[in-house]
Structure 1
Amino acid sequence: MDPIIAATHADPYPYYAQLRANGGLVFHQGLNVWVASSARAVAAVLAHPDCHVRPSHEPVPKAIVGGMAGKVFGQLMRMNEGERQRCPRLAIQPGLASIDAVEVNALVAARLITPGAEGLYKAMFRGPVCVVAALLGFSPAQGRAISELTGDFVACLSALGEQAQRDAAHVAADHLSGYFVELLDDPNNQSALLAGIRQRFAATSGDAEMLIANLIGLFSQTYEATAGLISNALLALIRTPSLHSESTPIDDLIAEVQRFDPSVQNTRRFVAAPCEIDGVSLNSGDVILVLLASANRDPQLNDHPDVFLLDRPERRSFTFGAGRHQCPGQGLALGIASATLHQILAMKPSLDQLKWHYRPSLNGRIPLFSDCP
């Protein structure tokens, strides 16, 4: 076991507990990275101004430099620091925070969710992107196409991606950009979300390409993280049948799942200047693997952290990050996941007839389901 393999291990949480017991921030010789596993260390790393989301010598992964996917990647607020991070965030975050939950529920309910593993896959991956697309003013048909393109685009964000996937990601990024060019030129667009984002973006930056890149970023962030919320909630119901009841508060279930068994297990930070964190001296160029899932299970963060509690008081979690790079769409992701799970359970699915395995990933924990023969 190591901190990377742990992300898709059947039960990585005892291993995370061992890491915390050995120190909140320690060096892993095999991976050649520092590992932050305790809540205190994770909070300190995420808050430190010299811990950046990309290495200074490689702002865009070498594998996608020179293509459209790399061009989009290089402008994403979640992959930048300073003004290139703050300006898009100031434009986008207020709109995401003000989205009406009733509208989200209606958009999810309007989608046809079919039974079986294939229906679950579409509900997990395609549905959330279609909801965000509708909120921005795209038609249902456009939303379906955009969800497929988003799947192709996010494949290039994984180090496990192959060249064919990277080629497809460049094509997808180009098509997604084209969709937004047309949308932004449409005088009949009635999206309050898009209008607010455009207005705030114009006040901080006039860079249309950066705006489009970060709108594409809304889709890419929605795609896997929300799918993981939904699928890990289903897995919780499979593993604990007593939770599968008409009286189960779905919002609380989703909230506890994102703490207890999150879809994003870890992230990375790159040290830009010599600094000291949690009593450890770090050098410029050091890499820190930040174990968000481990911190969520730290007793210093949550009482009885290894117990799944729907009514957990003062629930705390690092799943959506913290500080300047905290996910701006946390509320929207939780809302879409909750509404989608409501619709899935309304079909009274035979969850005990499903098999599952984790999607290959270095940091994501996303169960994929298949029907038992």
Structure 2
Amino acid sequence: MRPPTDPYLAVTHPDPYPFYAGLRARGGLHRIEGFDPWIAADGATVRAVLTSEHCRVRPLAEPIPPHLGGTAAGALFGRLVRMNDGGPFPTVKRALASSLEEMMSALEAESRRWSARLFAEPSIALLPTRALQLPVFVLGTLLGLPEDGLDACVQDVEAYVRSVVHSQAVSEGAASAARLTGRVEDCAQARPALLSRFSARMQEGGAPAELRTPNAVGLLTQAYEATAGLLGASLLAIARMPSLRTQLARRECTMEDVVREAARHESPVQNTRRFVHSRVSVAGQELEAGATVVVVLAAANRDPQENPRPDDFLPRRVDRRTFTFGLGTHACPGQRLAETMAVAAAEQVLASGLDLSPLSGPVTWRASTNTRILRGP
């Protein structure tokens, strides 16, 4: 098996972790041949980059990807808290995080209800599709979207997500972004609990009302792949380590323990990027304006300085340090959402009696340069 040659290719490699170990061993910000961005891979450097005020989420000259300019997909992208620094966006993020926290009981109930429906049939072949449907069905329901339209919403989320990366998909992605925005805006008239709470928290903080709907849509688009990846990582761990079933049966660990360790051990989000707007020193390295840093979260998760015995899967790991969901001002507010949905789904998959042994061998991964999502055995 040939090792990957850069962090983007590593995401879908059968075993990227020896390559990540090599990146991590270099320490600090560094470059590798044939790959232009700077790389942060060890825990200390990843932490320094993610918490630096000088490392932004978009290039200075490109607040949105150029191919999305003038489209509904670009309008959606440009209003997401995930893709903006400063201004009203920290207030919107706090409002969103507070609203989600208040909705956790309802989210857990919907996660179990939809998991029972989506994963009732024990089918390995259907598993990847159902994993991607789950976050849209759960969060869409909480946003007030009609159940008979949720399949169409999944298709629109997929089209939008693809359009952000692939310029040839922009037409379909723009139409999908417009439909998603319209559906969520229509739901607001019925005042569903999540949207109402989000609106109220934004108003309390003085955030512009026009940022509500795009960031409600953003819940669907941002939970989509990350949640599916987390569920896949959890089921892979159970398939490849039969002792986990025994530990679960004996209540020596919980499914929450398994999911949280899976998020560290087989990170569903393998990397993210940061951009430097002006010459600055970060983690002891001088960076020029316009520099890009690829932050290899999956490598930092297995840094022995952060997590002793990093390659071992320890569901009851003490003082676990997980970089998967980010740090600093752009730490993901949806970590508990993803974990809750993955727990409900994994428990239902096991209850269905699905034979997971096909996952104990070679598997394939959904095409991506940053998310590691199970496609099938």
TM-score (norm 1): 0.92
What is the Cα deviation at residue 43 of structure 1? 0.4
Structure 1 residues 8-38: Cα deviation after superposition (integer angstroms, max 9, x where no partner): 1111111111112122211234111110011
Q: Which residue of 1 aligns with 2:187?
A: 183
Q: Which secondary structure state, in structure 2, belongs to the residue aligned with residue 32 of structure 1? A: strand
5 Å matches for 1:155-304?
Answer: 155-158=162-165, 161=166, 163=168, 165-186=169-190, 189=191, 191-205=192-206, 207-245=208-246, 247=249, 249-304=254-309
How far did residue 100 of structure 1 move?
A: 2.9
Note if 1:104 corresponds to 2:107.
Answer: yes
Q: Does 1:123 align with 2:130?
A: yes
* Residue 153 (structure 2) aligns with: 146
Distance 2:133 2:299 in 1: 29
Rounded Cα–Cα distance in structure 2 between residues aligned with 1:32 and 1:307:
32
The residue correspondences of 1:286-365 to structure 2 (distance < 5 A) are: 286-353=291-358, 356-365=363-372
Q: Distance in 2 between matches of 1:100 and 1:7?
A: 31
d(CA) in 1 for partners of 2:88, 2:368: 28
Offset from partner CA, 1:41-86 (integer Å, 9 cap, x none): 0000011111000000011101211111011001110000002421
SS of the residue corresponding to residue 364 of structure 2 reads: strand
The match for 1:21 among 7, 25, 40 is 25
Deviates more, 1:325-334 or 1:147-156: 147-156
Q: Calculate percent identity across the aligned residue pairs.
A: 38
**Superposition CA RMSD, Å:** 1.7
1:46 counterpart residue number: 50
> What is the CA–CA distance in structure 2 between the aligned matches of 1:326 and 1:223, rounded to whole Å?
17
1:3 Cα deviation from its structure 2 partner: 1.6
Deviation at 1:121, TM superposition (A): 2.6
Q: Which residue of 1 aligns with 2:84?
A: 80
Q: Secondary structure at the match of 1:281?
A: strand
Q: Once the two structures are superposed, what CA deviation does each residue of 1:319-344 show, in whole Å capped at 9, x if it has no partner? A: 00000000011111111111111111
Aligned 8 A contact 2:92 2:207 in 1: no
Distance in 2 (CA, whole Å) between partners of 1:31 and 1:265 is 17
Contact 2:143 2:184 (C-alpha < 8 Å) held by counterparts:
no
Report the AA paired with residue 108 of structure 1.
S
Distance of 2:33 and 2:288 partners within structure 1: 16
Name the residue aligned to 1:36.
Answer: 40
Contact map agreement 2:37 2:291 (CA 8 A) in 1: yes
8 A Cα contact 2:39 2:296, kept in partner: yes
TM-score (norm 2): 0.92
How far the C-alpha of 1:88 sits from its partner, in A, is 1.5
> Unpaired runs of 5+ in structure 2?
none
Q: Which residue identity is paired with 1:216?
A: V
Which one-letter code corresponds to 2:264 in the other structure? Answer: R
Residue 27 of structure 1 aligns to a residue whose secondary structure is strand
Displacement of 1:135 after TM fit? 1.7
Task: Call closer, same or farther: CA 1:226–1:216 in 2, change over 3 Å.
Answer: same
- The superposition leaves residues 176-214 of structure 1 with CA deviations (integer Å, 9 ceiling, x where unpaired) of 11111211122xx3x332211001222345644321111
- Separation in 1, partners of 2:347, 2:148: 23
State whether residues 25 and 38 of structure 1, in contact with CA within 8 Å, keep that contact through their aligned partners in structure 2.
no
Deviates more, 1:65-74 or 1:87-96: 87-96
| Offset, 1:162 | 5.1
Q: Give the Cα–Cα distance (whole angstroms) in 1 for the partners of residues 79 and 91 of structure 2.
A: 11
Structure 1 unaligned regions, length at least 5? none
Whether the 8 Å contact between 2:67 and 2:167 is mirrored in structure 1 is no
Q: Aligned-pair distance for 1:236? A: 1.5
Cα pair distance change 1:249/1:206, threshold 3 Å: closer
Mapped partners of 1:118, 1:69: distance in 2: 31
How far apart, in 2, do the equivalents of 1:181 and 1:22 lie?
A: 49
Matched residue of 1:350: which SS? coil
* SS of equivalent residue, structure 1 residue 35: strand
